[in-house]
């Protein structure tokens, strides 16, 4: 089946000057490995660029919208907004799943691995839009797709440091200090994925995933708060 990227352009209302750049944004490394001789590269360099563009636009938005918040609070809010789970949800909502160029093996996996691929592809798309259309267009794209999530994150206080909160609640309700353990790590050095467990004593309460141990610990802490119904 041939993927028609023109349909995606209509969906996001952006017409690329360089069509290969759009295709590259959706091209996973596994697809290149399986289709040797393609003229385009995989999307990892675009993802690197898009990650920085995304961080700048989100930072600028939060700085202007929430003047009363401290640097630490704004940093926590930004982390909550640009984490892989939220971004993969956004990518899924705008139909990016239908355009991914993956190896046959990766195409069959709809679990956590797909979640990270979607999040990375969204960042690569941001990089591609920035290169092809400029800052103003990519700013509008992020404002339309991702930034509406800010209100939910702020209203539900999902930006709070989950590790600090779960420690406070665990000491209050069960008189233990949580501990964390890396359960699994995978991927090359430039694209590591960690799975971390949070324990109360010897009991595994929840797991979390992330591109760093710190991100995975935060995710595990948030999942523990949800599991214990300790979110206000």
> Which positions are annotated as active-site residues?
51, 123
220: its two tokens: 């595990």
Which of these, 73, 92, 55, lies nearest to 159 by C-alpha position?
Answer: 73
**Rg from Cα positions in the chain:** 19
Judged by DSSP in three states, 209 sits in strand
Alpha-carbon dihedral sign for residues 34, 40, 43, 44: positive
Distance CA(217)–CA(215), nearest Å, equals 5
Contact (Cβ atoms closer than 8 angstroms) between residue 46 and residue 27: no
Whole-angstrom CA distances from 146 to 50, 54, 98, 202, 211 are 14, 10, 19, 38, 20
| Residue 167 CA: distances (Å) to CA of 86, 92, 180 | 24, 33, 11
Cβ atoms 87, 146 nearer than 8 A? yes
């Amino acid at each position: 089946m041939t993927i028609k990227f023109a349909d995606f352009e209509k969906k996001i209302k952006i017409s690329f000057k360089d069509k290969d750049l759009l295709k590259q944004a959706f091209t996973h490394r596994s697809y290149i490995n399986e289709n040797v001789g393609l003229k385009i590269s995989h999307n990892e360099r675009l993802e690197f660029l898009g990650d920085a563009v995304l961080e700048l636009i989100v930072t600028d938005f939060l700085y202007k919208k929430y003047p009363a918040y401290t640097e630490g609070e704004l940093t926590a809010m930004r982390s909550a907004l640009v984490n892989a789970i939220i971004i993969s949800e956004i990518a899924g909502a705008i139909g990016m799943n239908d355009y991914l160029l993956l190896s046959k093996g990766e195409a069959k996996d709809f679990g956590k691995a797909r979640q990270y691929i979607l999040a990375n592809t969204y960042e690569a798309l941001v990089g591609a839009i920035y290169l092809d259309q400029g800052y103003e267009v990519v700013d509008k794209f992020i404002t339309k797709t991702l930034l509406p999530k800010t209100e939910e994150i702020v209203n539900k206080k999902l930006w709070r440091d989950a590790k600090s909160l779960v420690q406070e609640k665990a000491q209050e309700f069960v008189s233990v200090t949580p501990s964390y353990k890396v359960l699994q790590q995978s991927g090359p050095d430039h694209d590591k994925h960690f799975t971390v467990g949070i324990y109360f004593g010897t009991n595994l309460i929840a797991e979390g995933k992330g591109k760093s141990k710190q991100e995975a610990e935060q995710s595990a802490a948030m999942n523990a708060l949800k599991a214990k119904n300790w979110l206000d």
